[in-house]
Amino acid sequence: MAPTAVQAPVSYVSPRARFGLIVPATNTVVEAEFARMLVPGVSWHSGRIAIANPSLKDDATMVAFLESLRTTIGDAVRSVGMCLPTYLVMGMSAETFWGGLSGAAEFERFMASTSGGLGVTTGALAARAALDAYGARRIGIITPYQAVGDAQVVDFFTAVGYDVHMIHGLRCETATAIAEVAPETIKEAFRRVDALGVDALMQAGTNLPAAVAAAEIERELGKPVIAINTATVWHAYRTNGIMDKVTGFGSLLEEH
């Protein structure tokens, strides 16, 4: 079932939608990229998730990072709920892929329950919908994750019917270091997972500043290249009946 918005009193600044945006406290990219994709009559309102330890240096610390996040995410949802958002958007993606298809569905249920019934866009849900919009079947993926995170992403996409040609994790050592990856490094990662017969390229990891880099490499490669933040904004807009086209971030927001 598609997520739905909740009817709430109209805000004169954002009568079309007030999006509650859930972001890890270590993230410095989501709010900036989402703001650049803002359309009239819409607003983003952040609830930031407390992070005890930003280390992602190996598989064990990445798992510990996500486990600690689950204990504090509820506070972020309840905090942003005080502004009466009409819809909830996840500004992080690793947790939304964890556990494959069943884990992603369970996370959506958790967020809906924690928010008092708000519809929610997650990274996994948005990525799947974006790839479906292109009719893609064989994909290449890049992430900032360690191997354990990459395995979860592959499990999710495989479970929903995609053939993953290749995944490349950048192995960023901290949650904040993800935002420091240069655009050319991101583009080269996309080139690495591309091949003849690959229908589309996908990026996970919301603190990776990939929205513009993905749009630029899309023109070079001549196939869909989808940044997770772009897909998330697109899905949140379209699910809420906001059909505005936004330029500068690739064909997904410009054409779909």
Q: Are residues 90 and 47 in the same domain?
A: yes
CA-wise closest residue to 91 among 246, 206, 241, 194: 206
- Are 161 and 176 in the same domain? yes
- Residue 59 shares a structural domain with residue 76: yes
Helix, strand, or coil (residue 94)? helix
Would you say residue 1 has pLDDT above 50? no
Query: 47-96, pLDDT tens digit by residue?
Result: 999 988 888 999 999 988 888 888 899 999 999 999 999 999 999 999 89
* Backbone dihedral angles phi then psi of residue 105, each to the nearest 5 degrees: -65, -40
Q: Taking the complete model, does pTM exceed 0.85, yes or no?
A: yes
Confidence (pLDDT) at 5: 54
* Residue-range definition of the domain harbouring residue 137: 127-229
Answer yes or no: is pLDDT of 184 > 80: yes
CATH of the domain at 200: 3.40.50.12500
- The encoded tokens of residue 243 equal 């059909």
Pair 96, 25 in one domain:
yes
